Structure 1
C-alpha cells in the first residue's frame, strides 16, 4: 500500500514524499540510489539527496527499491524489450529476402514442409504458418549480448525527483488538485482520484468541485464514509448512483445498477428530493437520461418512501407520466421555428449553453439584428461562464474564418477520430472579431496577477489542457495539438503489448508523407528497411509481452511528415490487453546501446482507446529543417482484423492534415496576457534559477527554485486555466 501511494504522488508531481526512517549515515547508499536513477533517466534533487543521506542505509535502500520500481514503469523499463532481428537496427534484411528465408526454413523442417509446398502451389503463403516467422528466435539475454553499452550524451533525458512534504500531506494536496480541477480528468486521473477520495474524505476539501465526473467520484467516497454528498442537480444523483454501482460516471456507457442498501437508497432519494424541491425546473434534466432513470428506479423503490414526493416526480417524468421538456428541446424548437431572438433569450439563462451554441446561432441568424442580439448576449454572459468554456470557444472561433474548409476533423471524448465534409456557412468577420475580443478580454481579466514570470520557451507551444480526455497517461506526454521540439539524429519508436487471453498481434508502422500529405514511403513488417530506417521485425503473439521498434535517421527522411501508428492486426483491442504502451527515443548518431535505453526515452504513453488503429503523434519538418512533434492521441475505427499501413494511408493522411493545420490555443496565448501585468517576465535560459520566488511555467521543475515559487508543468498545467 505504501509503495502504491508513493508511486501515485511521484507520477503526478515528480516529488518523493519526504523520506522517513532511523537517522544514520546513508550518504553512500543515497549516491548509489542516485546513480541507479540516472540509468533510467531520473536523478535526485540536491535537497532530496541531502535528506536521504541523513537516514540509515537500510531505510535508503528500501526507499530506493520502491522508487526505482515506480520510475522504471513510468518510462517503460519495467518489461523486457526484445527484438526479432537480434542485431537491430543493424543487419535488418530486405522484406522479400527475409520472407524467402522463412519459406526456405519451413521447407527444411519436416513438420512444415508438406503444408508449405501446398501453399506454394496455390501461389499464396501464410506467413503465420512458417515456423521461423513472428516469434523471438533468441532470448533477451542473447539479444543484449549483441549490443554495446550506451554512450552517454548531453541530450539524454534527465528528470529530477524533488523532495516533497510528508506522505499524507502530499496525498491531501494532490486530492484537492484533482478533485478541484477546472478541466475533466482522463480515465487514469479519475481512477487515482477514486483512491485519494477514500483516503482524504475527512481532509480539507477543494473550494469547489465544478467538473461533474469528479464530483461523482468524491460523492461516492463521501457516501461510503457516511458523509453527506454534494448534490445540486438531479444528474449529480444519477452519476453518484452509477459510481456506487461501479459504472460510468460520464453516463456515456450503460451502468448495471447493483442492489443498494436502505441507507444508500435513503441518501439518493433524499438528495434527489431536496434538489427538485429547491428548483422544480431541474426536472427538465431527466428526459435525456430517461431509460437510465427507469432502471435506477427499479433499484431505489421510490414508492416505499412517501416522505420524499419530489423524488417520485423524477421517476414520473422518466416514465412519461409527468411532462418536463428539456432545456435543449425548447431551444431546438425555437431554432426550428427560425426564432433566433427567442432562442438567444432562453440560452441567456444558461450562459455555458449559450456559448456552446454560439456557432449554430450565428449560422441560423438571417439578419443583422439577430446577429447583433446574439453577440450582445455573449458579451453580457462571458462573466458567468467557466474559463475552460471561454477558452474552448475562443479556440473554435480562431479556426473559423470566413472561408470554410473542405474537410472537418471530428474527435469524440474517447479520442475516436473521423473526417467529414465541412458544409457550414462562414461566420461573418465583424461578429467573429467582436466575439474574440470579448472572450480575450474576459480571459485576461481572470488571469492572476504575477509578480515575476519565468517561462521555459519549450512550453510556449504546448496546447492548453482544456480536457484531460485529450491526453494519454504517461511520461513526457502533452495535450493533443501541442508542438514540442525534436532534437537528435536518430528517432526510435517503440510499442509494447501483452495479451490477456487471445493471440494478439500489434504492428508498429511509420508512414512518411510529403508536404502535400502524399505517401513517400513507409516502414512496417511489409517494408522492413527503407532509406529512412529499419523495422525490428514482426511479432505475432504476446503471451509474455512483445515489443516492436522502428529506427529512423531524421536526416535521411525524404518527406515532411512522419506518422507513427499502431495497427491491430489480430486479437485484443487496446482496452482489452493486459498492458500496451507507445513511446519514442532520441539518440545522437554516435550513440549505440540496446534497442531500448530508458534514459533516451522522451515520451511513453499508454494505449487505451477505441478503434483498431492508434495515432499517438506526428513528426513534422519545418522550413528551417528542424523537426517537431505534434501530439494527436487519436484512434481510427479501422477494420476488425488485418489493419495495415497500406490500407490506412489515405485516411491517416487526411486526418493528420486536419489536425496539423488546425491551430490550438497554447500556453503562449495565456502567458502573453499574463506578461502584460508581470514585473520582468523572462524566458528561462535552462541553467540559472533566480533566488527569489517566481511563477515558473515549463516542461519540468528546475532544481534549486525558491521553495515558495509557484510551478506549473504538464502534470498540473490545468491550474493555468482560469476559473
Structure 2
C-alpha cells in the first residue's frame, strides 16, 4: 500500500507540473499508458487544439495514437485546459454591444439612449430627473449603463462562425521526454538562468525546486532571487544552503514568509519555528565568520535586517556570535563601513584613480560606474585608466552586465537636454531631461570594442546557424522583469511584424471583492507624437474602428475590446492602454490580462477567437495605467509591434486616456528612439564561428544538427539541434 501511495503522489506531482512544462517549453511530457488504438481520439484532440490555435506535432500525434482512447482523452483534457488559459480562452468574453464590431452607436447617441431608458423605468425616473435638473448626469447611475444587457449565449448567436485563414496563429506542441526528465531540465534551466526571472517565473521555480530538491542541481545559480527560491526548497529538504552573503539569508527569510525575494517591496516576516531560526542564524554566522567584511552588506537593507532580528532572537543563541554582529550593525551598535561609502569618499575628493583601483575588486560595480567615472575624469590619463581597468576586468563581469553596459554606451550619443526614460524593475516608468555631459567618442568606441570582443569570446560554437528572420529584432531578455507572463510575449524594446487587416485589442478582469472598472483605450498619434484621435468609452467610434462598450463591474469577470482597421488608421502610432477607473489594482484583482488578435477582413467570428490571438499577457504591475505595447507604422506602410511592458502611476481614480496622453506620448518617444540590443547583435557575433549561417524560409530544415534561433520551433529539426525560441531566449545570454 505504501508503494501504491508513493506512485499516486508522484503521478499527482507530474500532472501538477505538466502545465509548467507546456507553458515554458511548448512540449508535452512523454505520454505514457496502456498500448491501444488511440488514433481517432488523437485526431479529435488535434482538432480541439486547432480551435484555440495549437496543434500536435507529427511525433506527438504518432505517440498518442499508440495509446488507449481513454488515456488520450485524459491527456487531452489536461492539455486543453492549459493551452486555453495560455490564449485567454479559459473565460467567457462577452461584449456590451451584442453584435460588436457592427452597429456600435455614436457615443452621444448611446448616452442619450441610456438616459431615455432610465426615464422610462419607474424605479429610476425620479432620480434621473433630479440629476438632469442640475445639468449633469452620472453615467454610472443609469440602469442600462455599464452592465451586460444580454447573455453570453445571446452574444454567440449574434455572430457567424470564424472562417479559417492561413494567417491564423498555429503553435505546435512537440513531443517531450519523460515527465521527470522534462521537469528536471526545466528546473535546471530556470534555477541556473543568467538573468532574473519575472514574477511568474519565480513562482514556477518555487514549485519546481520543491519537486527537484533531491535530484540534480545546477552547477551555479548566478541570480540571487533564484538562489533564494532554491534555498527554500533545500531548507525544507534538509540539504545544505547555498549562501555567500548575508543578503542571501535575508532573501531566504523573505521566501519563508511568502515575501518579495527581490527585496524591492518590504516583507512582513512571519513567526518562525526554532529549527528555521537556527538554520538562518547558523547561515549568517558562517557567512560572516568566513568573511567579516561582508557585514558591510547589512547597511543596504538595514531596516529589513532589524525586523528579521526581532523574529530570530539572536540573543538566545550565543553559539553564533557572528550572526549577532549582523543585527548589531543593523541597529547601529557596530560599525561596518560599506564598499560603496569608501568609493563615494574617494570620488568626493576627486581621487578617480583611487576609486578605479578599489573598484577593480568588484568588477560588476566598476562596470555599472563607468559612465559616471568617465564624466568625472579631468584628464586624458584618468580616462585611459578607467577604460583600461574596464578592459582588464571584463572577463570577470557577468554576461548580463556586459550586454547591459554595451546597450547603455550604444545609446550615449544623444546631446544633453534630451529626454531620458527611467524604468524600474516593476515596470514603473518616468521621464526627465538628460543633463549628463557626453561620454567622449574615443572612450565610448574603445569600450564598445572591448565589450564586443569579450561577448564574442564567451559565445558557444554554433555549428550550422539557422535563423528565423522574424526573431532578429527581438530584444535580448537582460531581465525577466522587462517582460510579462503570457503567450507570444516578447521583451521590452522588441519589434515584431504585424500582418493582418483587422487589429483587435482585448482586456479581461475579474474583481476580487470590490466593484472594479477597467477601461480599455487606444491612442492614435502622429509621427511627431502629437494626439490624432482615440477610442475609449468616451469615444466609441472613430474612422479607425470601434469600442465594444464600457463595463463597470466585474464580479463574474468582464471584457472590453477595440477593433481597428489598419488600413484606415491615419497616424503613425497606435498605443493601447488599460486604465483603472475605480476599484482594485492590477495586482489586487483575481485575474487580469491584455492581448491582441489579427484577422482578415472577411473572417467574421466572435469578438474573441483564440486562434487569432497573437499575444496575451498578464497585467500584474504597480500604477493605474498599463501600457503593454505600441504599434508603429514603418516607412513602407507596414505595421510592427513595439513591446513596452510599462505602468504609469496615474491618478488614484478616474484614469482616462484623455488625461494621460501627453505622458504616454513622452514615454513612447523615449522607448521608440532608444536602440535595444537584439538577437541580431548576438547572431552577428556568432557568424564568425558558425560553419554556415542560413535564414530559415519557413519550410525546409537542414538534415544535420543546427543551432536554431526563431520565434517558433520548426518540425523536423535534427534531434541533436540546439533550439532557442522566446521561451528559452535567456539561454542566449552568455554566463
Alignment TM-score, normalising by the size of structure 2? 0.97
Secondary structure at 2:534's aligned position in 1? strand
1:410, distance to aligned residue in structure 2 (A) = 0.7
Secondary structure at 1:507's aligned position in 2? strand
Secondary structure at 2:726's aligned position in 1? coil
Q: Deviations over 1:94-126 (max 9, x none)?
A: 101111111111111111111111121111110
Q: Deviations over 1:183-220 (max 9, x none)?
A: 00000100000000000001111110010000000001
Residues 1:549 and 2:561 are matched in the alignment: yes
Q: Which runs of 4+ in 1 moved over 3 A?
A: none
Secondary structure at 1:540's aligned position in 2? coil
Q: Corresponding residue for 1:341?
A: 353
Residues 1:189 and 2:201 are matched in the alignment: yes
Cα distance in 2 between the residues matched to 1:198 and 1:544: 34
Secondary structure at 1:217's aligned position in 2? helix
Cα distance in 2 between the residues matched to 1:652 and 1:697: 33
Residues 1:323 and 2:314 are matched in the alignment: no
Q: From 379, 391, 404, give the equivalent of 1:367.
A: 379
Residues 1:120 and 2:132 are matched in the alignment: yes
Equivalent pair of 1:41/1:156 in contact (CA under 8 Å) = yes
Equivalent pair of 1:616/1:633 in contact (CA under 8 Å) = yes
Cα distance in 1 between the residues matched to 2:129 and 2:379: 76
Q: Corresponding residue for 1:401?
A: 413
Secondary structure at 1:495's aligned position in 2? strand
Cα distance in 1 between the residues matched to 2:301 and 2:412: 32
Alignment TM-score, normalising by the size of structure 1? 0.99
Alignment of 1:241-320 (within 5 A): 241-320=253-332
Equivalent pair of 1:402/1:429 in contact (CA under 8 Å) = no
Q: Corresponding residue for 1:422?
A: 434
Cα distance in 1 between the residues matched to 2:320 and 2:509: 52
Q: Corresponding residue for 1:22?
A: 34
Secondary structure at 1:395's aligned position in 2? helix
Cα distance in 2 between the residues matched to 1:185 and 1:88: 39
1:11, distance to aligned residue in structure 2 (A) = 0.4
Equivalent pair of 1:506/1:540 in contact (CA under 8 Å) = yes
Cα distance in 2 between the residues matched to 1:404 and 1:450: 41
Cα distance in 2 between the residues matched to 1:312 and 1:46: 61
1:250, distance to aligned residue in structure 2 (A) = 1.1
Give the aligned CA root-mean-square deviation in angstroms.
0.9
Residues 1:446 and 2:458 are matched in the alignment: yes
Equivalent pair of 1:570/1:642 in contact (CA under 8 Å) = yes
Cα distance in 1 between the residues matched to 2:117 and 2:330: 67
Cα distance in 1 between the residues matched to 2:264 and 2:607: 41
Residues 1:218 and 2:230 are matched in the alignment: yes
Q: Deviations over 1:324-383 (max 9, x none)?
A: 111111111211222211111111110000000111111121221221111111011101
Equivalent pair of 1:675/1:681 in contact (CA under 8 Å) = yes
Cα distance in 1 between the residues matched to 2:94 and 2:694: 45
Q: From 668, 676, 680, give the equivalent of 1:668.
A: 680
1:308, distance to aligned residue in structure 2 (A) = 2.1
Q: Corresponding residue for 1:612?
A: 624
1:3, distance to aligned residue in structure 2 (A) = 3.7
Cα distance in 2 between the residues matched to 1:133 and 1:299: 52
Q: Deviations over 1:670-698 (max 9, x none)?
A: 00100111011010000111221111000
1:541, distance to aligned residue in structure 2 (A) = 0.5
Segments of 5+ residues of structure 1 without an aligned counterpart are none
1:306, distance to aligned residue in structure 2 (A) = 2.3
Q: Corresponding residue for 1:390?
A: 402
Secondary structure at 1:508's aligned position in 2? strand
Cα distance in 1 between the residues matched to 2:330 and 2:553: 49
Residues 1:234 and 2:268 are matched in the alignment: no
Q: From 683, 689, 699, give the equivalent of 2:695.
A: 683
Residues 1:462 and 2:455 are matched in the alignment: no
1:402, distance to aligned residue in structure 2 (A) = 5.5
Secondary structure at 1:590's aligned position in 2? coil
Q: Corresponding residue for 2:492?
A: 480
1:420, distance to aligned residue in structure 2 (A) = 1.1
Secondary structure at 1:665's aligned position in 2? coil
Residues 1:638 and 2:675 are matched in the alignment: no
Q: From 188, 208, 213, give the equivalent of 1:201.
A: 213
1:276, distance to aligned residue in structure 2 (A) = 1.2
1:405, distance to aligned residue in structure 2 (A) = 5.1
Q: Corresponding residue for 2:92?
A: 80
1:407, distance to aligned residue in structure 2 (A) = 0.9
Q: Corresponding residue for 1:650?
A: 662
Q: Corresponding residue for 2:48?
A: 36
Cα pair distance change 1:39/1:318, threshold 3 Å: same
Equivalent pair of 1:402/1:427 in contact (CA under 8 Å) = no
Greater alpha carbon shift after TM alignment, 531-540 vs 286-295: 286-295
Aligned residues: 723
1:271, distance to aligned residue in structure 2 (A) = 1.7
Cα distance in 2 between the residues matched to 1:102 and 1:45: 51
Alignment of 1:693-712 (within 5 A): 693-712=705-724
Q: From 359, 380, 403, give the equivalent of 2:392.
A: 380
Cα distance in 2 between the residues matched to 1:656 and 1:585: 22
Residues 1:142 and 2:154 are matched in the alignment: yes
Cα distance in 1 between the residues matched to 2:458 and 2:632: 35
Segments of 5+ residues of structure 2 without an aligned counterpart are 1-11
Q: Corresponding residue for 2:9?
A: none
1:259, distance to aligned residue in structure 2 (A) = 2.3
Equivalent pair of 1:402/1:428 in contact (CA under 8 Å) = no
Q: Deviations over 1:53-74 (max 9, x none)?
A: 0000000000000100000000
Cα distance in 2 between the residues matched to 1:121 and 1:710: 71
Greater alpha carbon shift after TM alignment, 460-469 vs 394-403: 394-403
Q: From 9, 18, 22, give the equivalent of 1:6.
A: 18
Q: Corresponding residue for 2:511?
A: 499
Cα distance in 2 between the residues matched to 1:663 and 1:419: 17
Cα distance in 2 between the residues matched to 1:660 and 1:123: 44
